[in-house]
């Protein structure tokens, strides 16, 4: 087998799994942000749960707010 040979099916499965893992992390982060905004947990607790520094979690909250601010409710 040459170094340039690869198993396309195995490679695609790895990409899919990486995407799933990233999606799970993003979903968990969204939930933690909502919990902080509702006052259920502190930023420090959420950052710890997300395995992030508090400053990183705060940056993620700001980034999430920028995404949401582009949408307006219609009801």
Q: Could you tell me which residues come within 8 angstroms of residue 43 by beta carbon, excluding any fewer than 6 positions away? A: 36, 54, 57, 58, 61
Q: For 2-55, how does the pLDDT look when each residue is reduced to its tens digit (9 = 90+)? A: 556 778 888 888 889 888 888 889 999 999 999 999 999 999 999 999 999 999
d(Cα 23, Cα 73) in Å, to the nearest integer? 25
- Give the per-residue pLDDT at 66: 80
What is the reported pTM?
Answer: 0.70
More confident residue, 43 or 1: 43
Q: How confident is the model at residue 72 (pLDDT cuts 50, 70, 90)?
A: low
The dihedral over CA atoms of 49, 54, 58, 59, expressed in degrees to the nearest 10, equals -100
């Amino acid at each position: 087998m040459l170094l340039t040979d690869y198993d396309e099916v195995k490679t695609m499965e790895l990409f899919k799994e990486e995407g799933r893992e990233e999606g799970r992390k993003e979903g968990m982060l969204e939930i933690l942000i909502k919990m902080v905004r509702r006052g259920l947990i502190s930023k420090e607790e959420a950052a710890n749960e997300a395995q992030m520094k508090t400053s990183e979690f705060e940056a993620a909250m700001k980034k999430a707010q920028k995404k949401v601010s582009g949408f307006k409710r219609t009801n």
